[in-house]
Amino acid sequence: MRIDLVSIFCDYFAPLQLSLVGKAISSGLVDLGVHDLRDWTHDRHRTVDDTPYGGGAGMVMKPEPWGEVFDALVPADGPTPVLVIPTPAGEPFRQSIAAELAEADWLLFACGRYEGIDARVSEHARTKMQVRELSLGDYVLNGGEVAALAIVEAVVRLIPGVLGNPESLAEESHGSQLNGELEYPVFTKPSTWRGLEVPPVLLSGNHGEVDRWRLEQARRITAERRPDLLQFGE
C-alpha cells in the first residue's frame, strides 16, 4: 500500500518509523510519503491560511496549495488514491472503516490546521477520487496530524503480512470491540501481585468455564462503559 501524508507539520509523522508500522515501511509492504503543504505555495511567506468569508474567529486553509499538491501527487491519467481528511465534522472512524481502507492500494491524507480547509478542496477532490472525511471522536485537536497517525496505525496493522500473529486479528473480529462488545479483562503471571489474585477460574484449566466467564465479564464491562453498544449488537 502507498500512503501519502500532506501537512504543514511533517515532524508529527516521525513515529511512523517505529514498531509495527515502521517494519511495514522498511519491509516494503507500505510505501510512505510525507509532503510539506508549504512546498506548494509561491509567496515569500509560504502562506497556507486566510481569513474566513462570512467572518468569524480563526483562519481557514487556502484551497490553492491543496489543489497544487494533489495535482503533483495524483496524475490525471493514472490510478487515484482514497483521500482521507481528518476532521471533527467527519463520519465517525471505526474498525469497519479501517478494514475498508486496508483494501485500498493508495491512501492520501490531507491534514488541516486552524478552523479547517476551504470546503471546495473536498468538493473538487470528489470529482477525481474517493474522499473520506473522518472523525476520531467528539473532541477537537489542533490539526489532522494526530488523527491521521491513529488512522494509519489502525489500517496498516490490517494489511496481510504486517501483523506477526494473524490469530490476534481473528480473535479481535470474533467478539470484542468491533462486533459490539468491549474486551474482557486479561491477566498474566504472577498469580498473586500486591495482594491481588487472578480470578481462580482462569487457573482452573476448564476452557468452557473460562469462555463463559470472559463472555460475562465482556457484557458487564460493555454495559457499564458503552451501553450504546449493547442496544442492538448480536
- Catalog residues that contact ligand JF5 under the rule CB under 6 A: 86-88, 112, 116, 135-137, 139-141, 143-144, 147
CB of 100 to ligand JF5, least distance (A): 17
106 membership: H or E segment, kind and range? strand 106-110
Q: Which is nearer to ligand JF5, 86 or 175 (CB)?
A: 86
Q: Which is nearer to ligand JF5, 34 or 146 (CB)?
A: 146
CB of 9 to ligand JF5, least distance (A): 12
Q: What is the DSSP code (8-state) at residue 91? A: E
3 state SS of 92? strand
Q: Which is nearer to ligand JF5, 140 or 186 (CB)?
A: 140
Q: Which of 20, 29, 31 is nearest to 160 (CA)?
A: 29
Q: Which is nearer to ligand JF5, 108 or 147 (CB)?
A: 147
Burial of 99: CB neighbours in 10 Å, binned 0-12, 13-18, 19+:
middle
Amino acid type, 227: P
Q: What is the DSSP code (8-state) at residue 178? A: G
Q: Please enumerate in sequence order all residues whose Cβ is within 8 A of that of 18, keeping only pairs 6 or more positions apart, or say none.
A: none
Q: Which is nearer to ligand JF5, 112 or 175 (CB)?
A: 112
CB of 48 to ligand JF5, least distance (A): 13
CB of 114 to ligand JF5, least distance (A): 7
Q: State phi, psi for 5 to the nearest 5 degrees.
A: -125, 125
CB of 198 to ligand JF5, least distance (A): 37
Q: Which is nearer to ligand JF5, 98 or 136 (CB)?
A: 136
CB of 205 to ligand JF5, least distance (A): 45
104 membership: H or E segment, kind and range? none
CA angle 151, 157, 163 (to 5 degrees): 165
